[in-house]
Structure 1
Amino acid sequence: MSAPSDLAANIAAHVVDELHRKGMPTSEEDRAQFIALLIATEFPDADEVSIKHAIKAVNDHIRTGAFRPVESLRAIEPINLAGLDIGAPQNGEPICERVDPKTLFVDPSYQRDIGERGLRQIRQILECFDWNRFKPPICAYAEHDGQTVLKVLDGQHTAIAAASHPDIDWIPVMICEARETSAQAAAFVGQNTQRLNVTPLQLHQAALVAQDEDALTIDQVCTKAGVRVLQYSVKTFEPGDTVAINAIAKLVDARGAMRARIILEVLAKAKMAPILAPQIKAVELLLTDDEYRHSITPEALTEAITGSWLTDHDEGKRIALSHKWPFWKALAIHWFRNTKKTKPATAGRAA
């Protein structure tokens, strides 16, 4: 594993401070849940590598035994509402029912099929099934083949495990008021926004079904640029495929729909397979930074980067190591040097 980044160190320091302030949870499961939720809430944009480094650093600190035990029980108390615009509940209060898990359904329009990773999770639930760890699936009524059924909005792995268990006939579920598919997809997004085990691709797909304005804008930008956002990662990519939904969302937010389309179109026309986050950031720099954008055109950049990704990747890594730059920046400099110029570049980084 490579050396921890500054971001990983910052995350670890924050988690350690919170553990010192609030006390160490008594069980390993509660501690892991506390750390995961804290990182997801406070550092939502952290990359996976930084998170892994941070968690390792926290665990190393825990092993030193430097934490005080959790304090005595703390009563739930309301917070100060001054300055808050309190929204009224938009739907009715959920109800709890016991149901046969084999009668539940899943909507593939916003929830992906169970893959090998999901099967491993289900097997783990079955091997260590414990009602004390059971979290009732979140469901909603829907019409299917002329009948009213319950669709699982969140917790399909739990539901499948329960349906597979030979000693379980009934499980408790929480039923929300969300009759339409768009409302159910929106509920899925709401249930999973703060959780680490739901991928950004799944959330984006659910947001599309829910007609979320930002998700629809991203979809329109990608469609016009010739980019196809996959619902999940695959082993073999076609030109224009991407799973870098977070990078695209940041691009659209920072640059607007029109400029984001132009940037993505460069990579789509270059037949990148897949389109990666560092590539997006590199093209964004070249087409928006005053030091580079006046010297090249999107068409010239596309021509320069088509068909040379493996070589460009290696050269970008070499430049990044040599200058201690982020890979995306090194890649941008390499691409700039290989792109036909419309006029001399401004003196600076690329000189």
Structure 2
Amino acid sequence: MKDIVEVVHRYLRDSDTSWTVAVFGAIAEYHTVQGQPQEVRLSADGGTIVGVGGALRVALSGPVRLAPYEFLTKRRDFWLHGVNLCLPEDVADIGCGKFGLAELGPDEKAIRQDDRSAILFDLGLGRPTLQAMIRTADPALIKALRGQIGRNLLGAEGAEAYRLILAGQPHRVFQSRLGRVEVYNPIPAPDGRTAPGPHTHILPDLLASGRTHSANVPVPPGHVPVLHFCPPNPILQRDGEAAPTLDRNHMAAFDALLDRFGEAELEAAKRLARDGVRAGSPPPDTTDLSRRERTAIRVALRKLAACSPGDAAVAHWQEAFETQPAIPPVA
């Protein structure tokens, strides 16, 4: 556990890292807005960040697995990455699998002292590894929500509760076995734009799938992701546009995570590509590799191309492995 806590401490101190507590279809994200103050406090099991628009708590316990990963974007020159903190399925269950709005009482675990007398309401999303809540000290909103107790917010009967929540603008509080994200920023109107910084999304159609995470993201067998962080990407900015230059320090830092905690089969495939390019060897028969191995090799080749633009050996391997046409980077 000590080595995982060290990794968490490093990225809690990095204001360019974003954090999420989520399941597929419901997510709370903690992002730092450049120029806004925040307070970071580290602890033996993680730490907290308190910012203007929200707060984050990481509290590691149990048999935590750290699972870094990389995956492709539709733009041929880029890739994405992230890190899941995973637990065995039975350990990750926090007993929140019921549907319907429920009152929970004062939020004694609130990150800020001033919020601990406010009242929590569980949104009742029916997901055992995620508790999605709202928090308010407004007597009128508390009274109105008590009239909606038991209503399923994912169906038509939840329309009035959603209207009350949008009008009352309570805090949103999402927590799992390993983390909590609190969002103080206002909820945007249905046709509005999400403000920068901490925010939440609830997408009933995706929730209905019952999945804990995207199929593009590998997790250890028998485990589920319950906390996620995304270190800065070496070639993309936060808004998804191309960075002016490749940040080799960010690349090296994430490569070190992959070397230490990455999936052995996929890291071996990446080494195959790197060693083959450096030796000038021809690409292997792609049919001899699994889909996941081919994806890992494509990521490795995109990273090599970013480090050595125009390299003929990299281009030769990419010709064998890239199946979609190249899309020019965003200027």
TM-score for both structures, normalised by structure 2 = 0.26
Q: Indicate the structure (1 or 2) with the bigger Cα radius of gyration.
A: 1
Considering fraction of residues, name the structure with more strand. 2
Q: TM-score, normalised by structure 1?
A: 0.25
> Of the two structures, which has the highest relative contact order with CA contacts closer than 8 Å and spacing of 6 or more?
2
The structure that is helix-richer by fraction is 1
